[in-house]
Structure 1
Amino acid sequence: MDALAGLLDGPRARGAFLMRSVFDPPWSVRIQDRAPLTLLTMLRGSAWVVPDRGAPVPLHPGDVAIIRGPQPYTVADDPATPPQAVIHPGERSTTPTGDELCEVMDLGVRTWGERADGTAVLLSGTYQLQGEVSQRLLRVLPDLLVLPAGALDSPLVPLLSDEMAKDELGQEVVLDRLLDLLLIAVLRAWFSRPEAAAPAWYRAHGDPVVGRALRLLHEHPAKPWTVATLAVGTGVSRAVLARRFTELVGEPPMAYLTNWRLALAADLLREPDATVGAVARQVGYGSSFALSAAFKRVRGLSPAEHRQTSRPQTADLVTPGA
């Protein structure tokens, strides 16, 4: 596992909310579902994504937008169009005055709007619960990114669109996995673009020494690493490794390893059956006490407190962190 694979290993949709929305201009939808992450793409027509903070961004056919929650935003045919519908947590939709819209605008299987052959078709896929997307991934993403049409060499968007129209046994699992694959494909393409401002560890991955060190740490986080053993694995001296790693990544190797181990532990602790002791062994700590001490020192709370605050909540879906 390389550093990027480790970052992208987190997405695990579980009953994701997927919808094909069909509109005629003027149209505008206010999104305030507090979801941690949403993918949007225009299958037909164009739109604007209007964040509460920042400038409106156009969305053309084939573009894929990723929006990091929980801040509200609006999607509309024009930034000046006032919202006609509001999406709330729990897949609930209303007018701005509170009248229910779910049944009124139901157009069939995972399709919503005023008429089926509208001029604009928006496909959306939403990770609804905290823990479905790792916090270390959310931490490195901007609030809004748009991958332009043509930058994604993948059949996943039309495949997901086709599968959304089906209502067969096991369809929810199929859609969850397709959404995960699409998110990973989009992010991999995004991080390779110069405007992505990729994190330092991503850029450092291309260095023959530091890239090798990062792969070793990500593939074997539980090994009892020291700067000396890591230097042996990369074929350079301890001094050279420590200097180059710190220059390119922005922190020393052992500090990076600690943060990586605790990020892994934070994700693993969200699993209801995982014990602190078992998680400690998986990420390289000899006991639950050792993991708890490191967790408290670096993150300011115990593993038990982290698990409590990370339980899925429909009203509070994202807690910043890494």
Structure 2
Amino acid sequence: MDTIGGLLGSPRARGAFLLKSVFNPPWGLRVEDRAPLSLVTVLHGSAWVLREGGEPARLAAGDVAVLRGPEPYTLADDPATPPGITVGPGQRCGTTEGEDLTEAMSLGVRTWGQPHRTGSTVMLSGTYQAPGEVGRRLLDGLPALLLRPASAARTPLIGMLAAEVDKEEIGQEVVLDRLLDLLLIDVLRSWLAEPGTGAPPWFRAQGDPVVGQALRLLHERPGRPWTVASLASAVGVSRAALARRFTELVGEPPMSYLTGWRLTLAAELLRDPELSIAGVARRVGYSGPFALSTAFKRERGVSPREFRRGERPGESAETCSDERTVVLGGPSRA
């Protein structure tokens, strides 16, 4: 697996919050849910995204915004419109005065807001609930707000996601999760391929003849008992030279990078119920399940067994809806 393919393979939503929301101007909502990553696209009308310390950004129909948490942000019909709705931790939704809006603004299956009329803004929103669903290295490399205009999109994924979000069919949650993953990967791939966009260090390091080769070896053979010395020997440089160059270009030492990559792979393998935790540990270079569990829990906040059961660090049972809630603006019924 190539380095970029491996990192872009990490978005794996697990019961992501998805919502189609409808608002009539003037409207504004403040999102303080501390989700690690959210996507917002406008299906009809327009919206503004406002982040503290940043310039307001306008979203037109077909534009996609990727918002990295846990910092809050505001969506509104105009930058001057104050938010009247707040989405808090645990997806608790209500007015700024504390009035619960769970039932009052429900419009049906995964749809929330106000009755549609001329001039309404219709948005499609989705969120990843835990950093491990995206990958810490990928998250750390993203800007706080990444915008992709409709002119650069030209993808059927938005239309497919919009069509599926209204359905109540067998396996619907899995379909929505995978479509959300594909849309995120599509946005990230176009961002990385565009020069001058501020791509993260690990992407720029691919072109280095020494570090690029070292990265490929770590990705292709994560189960090997690598040391800085053995990796340096494999790419034909001294240990000191590799450590210095790798850290300079990637932003962390080789063995730290390898640990993160091994745990990313472990998370993927743990989704296969046929593989034992011991088997996963061996595949990614750990001596046994205890060693994997120690590293995994330190990085992800849950043990491999808990992760396999779908548990998330700090998971709360209190949400906007009795069944399922969504990232932007309120509840949905799954």
Answer yes or no: same fold by TM over 0.5. Answer: yes
Figure out how many residues of one structure are paired with residues of the other and give that number: 309
How far the C-alpha of 1:95 sits from its partner, in A, is 1.4
Matching residue of 1:105: 105
Partner of 2:123: 122
Matches within 5 A, 1:8-23: 8-23=8-23
What pairs up with 1:1-322 in 2 under 5 angstroms? Answer: 1-119=1-119, 120-226=121-227, 230=231, 236-238=236-238, 245=246, 248-250=249-251, 253-254=254-255, 256-261=257-262, 264=265, 267=267, 280-287=281-288, 295=295, 307=303, 311-314=313-316
Inter-CA distance 99–255: structure 2 relative to 1 (3 Å threshold): closer
Residue 179 of structure 1 aligns with an amino acid whose one-letter code is L
User: Residues 285-307 of structure 1: CA distance to partner in whole angstroms, max 9, x if unpaired?
Assistant: 335676689x5xxx9x9579764
1:313 alignment partner AA: E
Q: CA deviation at 1:116?
A: 2.3
Distance in 2, matches of 1:168 and 1:264, equals 31
Match for 1:69: what amino acid?
A: G
CA–CA separation in structure 2 for the residues paired with 1:184 and 1:216? 23
Contact 2:141 2:200 in 1 (8 A): yes
The answer as to whether partners of 1:15 and 1:172 remain within 8 angstroms in 2 is yes
Q: Distance in 2 between matches of 1:118 and 1:111?
A: 18
Name the SS of the counterpart of 1:313 in structure 2. coil
Higher relative contact order (CA 8 A, sep 6+): 2
Deviation at 1:149, TM superposition (A): 2.0
**Secondary structure in structure 2 of the residue aligned to 1:131:** helix
Between 1:166-175 and 1:243-252, the stretch displaced more is: 243-252
Normalised TM-score (structure 1): 0.80
Distance in 2 of aligned mates of 1:66 and 1:5: 19
Change (3 A) 1:11 1:99: same
Deviation of 1:218 after TM superposition, in Å, equals 0.8
Deviation (angstroms), 1:78: 0.9
Give the match for residue 319 of structure 1. none
Q: Report how far residue 77 of structure 1 moved.
A: 0.9
Gaps of 5+ in 1: 317-322
- Describe the shift of the 1:13–1:255 C-alpha distance in structure 2 as closer, same or farther (beyond 3 A): closer
Report how far residue 39 of structure 1 moved: 0.1
Rate the CA distance shift 1:256–1:126 in 2: closer, same or farther, 3 A: closer
Q: Deviations over 1:49-98 (max 9, x none)?
A: 11134232222222111111222211001111011222234444211112
The answer to whether the 8 Å contact 1:10/1:132 transfers is: yes
Secondary structure in structure 2 of the residue aligned to 1:103: coil
In terms of mean alpha carbon deviation, does 147-156 or 172-181 score higher? 147-156
Q: Tell whether the 8 Å contact from 1:40 to 1:122 is kept in structure 2 after alignment.
A: yes
Letter paired with 1:193: E
Q: Distance in 2 between matches of 1:144 and 1:270?
A: 31
- Tell me how large the CA RMSD over aligned residues is: 3.5
The gaps in structure 2 that reach 5 residues or longer are: 319-334
Cα deviation 1:120-151 (Å, max 9, x = unaligned):
11110112245322222221112221122222
* Aligned CA distance change for structure 1 residues 259 and 37 (closer, same or farther; 3 Å): closer
Shift of 1:6: 2.1
| Residue 320 (structure 1) aligns with | none
